[in-house]
Amino acid sequence: GESVGLHLPTLSVQEGDNSIINCAYSNSASDYFIWYKQESGKGPQFIIDIRSNMDKRQGQRVTVLLNKTVKHLSLQIAATQPGDSAVYFCAEKNNAGNMLTFGGGTRLMVKP
């Protein structure tokens, strides 16, 4: 079946730098996308979402970009901090149902 995938399993950045985490999706019917952050020993935590009628959405220090032409999603974290170290998952949903499909995850490591 169709699935959501990630380009990089591990990303290491210097504290204070910007981070970019990428995600490719294959279901063209997907119309809602979410980024989750999962810290060690915890459940995934909602970070930011975007609907398919938008190509950019900003939150506090985070920005999600959606390119429907190439089915690509990215999460940008500005001024990365040690507390941003976690595994980040993208997830997609289509309007035919209520189920989220998760990608494999990218581990972000922030070096002090």
Partner 1 sequence: DAGVIQSPRHEVTEMGQEVTLRCKPISGHNSLFWYRQTMMRGLELLIYFNNNVPIDDSGMPEDRFSAKMPNASFSTLKIQPSEPRDSAVYFCASSFGQGGGYTFGSGTRLTVV
Q: Which stretch binds partner 1 (CB under 8 A): 19-27, 32-40, 64-72, 73-81?
A: 32-40
- For position 53 contacting partner 1 by CB under 8 A, the verdict is no
For the chain, what percentages of helix, strand and coil (3-state, to nearest 5) are there? 5, 55, 40
Which two structure tokens, joined as six digits, stand for 91? 């997830």
Neighbouring residues of 11: CB distance < 8 A, sequence distance ≥ 6: 19, 21, 106, 107, 108, 109
- For position 43 contacting partner 1 by CB under 8 A, the verdict is yes
Residue 51 CB, shortest distance to partner 1, in Å, is 9
Q: Which stretch binds partner 1 (CB under 8 A): 52-60, 67-75, 76-84, 95-103?
A: 95-103
